[in-house]
Structure 1
Amino acid sequence: MTITDTTKTVYDLITPELRADLITMIREDSWPEMTDAQGERGVDQMAAFLAVAANTTQKATPSLRVDLFWHAFVLHTKPYADFCEALAGRFIHHVPDRNSGHNPTEGRKAMRRTADMIRAAGFDTDPEYWPADNAADCSGDCSQSYAGCSDSPVAK
């Protein structure tokens, strides 16, 4: 992964101790087979997602795996609020959308748009965390790739 000064700064807003705690939480709560390397990449993907969500007027939608990390991070209210302030100068709200019906086709489109925004901002996207990138024709249960959550876009 090529890390630019901007992406390095975003990733560094999350301390090694907090990273370890987020990885442990997700491993214990929902993804027991996750490796430390997958966890580190997951924290980075979440940070990149939040960096983009904080600086767009468009709705940004995480993948299910990115959303797992975001949920864990939100539970760390003080570090999460500090991260948001340092990154965006405001709180980045997590907005569940339980009424969306979790349409797999719409979910893949929303995630592709978000992954495109992340890449346009200079971050890499990891296909293990953004499955819609590799799922032009998704076989199996595509609903696993869409969490039905989004950020609260900034009106600029």
Structure 2
Amino acid sequence: MEKLRRVLSGREDNEELGLTAQVLDASTLSYSTRVKWFVICFGAGIACSILGTALLFLPNGLKLFAVFYTIGNISALASTCFLMGPLKQLKRMFEPTRLIATIVMLLCLVLTLCAVFWWHKRGLAILFCIMQFLAMTWYSISYIPFARDAVMKCFTTCIS
């Protein structure tokens, strides 16, 4: 019966689809659906980051801040998977132009949580959150042509 389905669907020469092809075949979304889920996921990420910042001022709020801020950054990063797909997103994250920013960003995500839950170092947690923000910003502007060059030129002009 399966052979008949493959013949009728035009796949008789492709004996078996690989796992990646099956997943991509089953998860095709329309452009409007992709944009909607990008906005929802990115908005949730921003909301989590803002909520985490608001929780910072509560007693024992540092743990909540670190968790919500990290979840917010992960959600914002994951939102781009809806625009270009998860495999393409991963490939582009680790291109040579973004490699250092990606590694620093992912490392700071983990180190923020380590600083709060295992090391109990308040200053380190805040430092790693700041580094998360800077790495995420540097990573994000890498998608805009010549944006990094403009930021570097502006920064060097301000310093000198």
TM > 0.5 fold call: no
Bigger Rg, which one: 2
Bigger fraction of residues in helix: 2
| Structure with greater contact order relative to length (CA < 8 Å, sep ≥ 6) | 1
TM-score, normalised on structure 1? Answer: 0.26
What is the TM-score of this pair, normalised by structure 2? 0.25
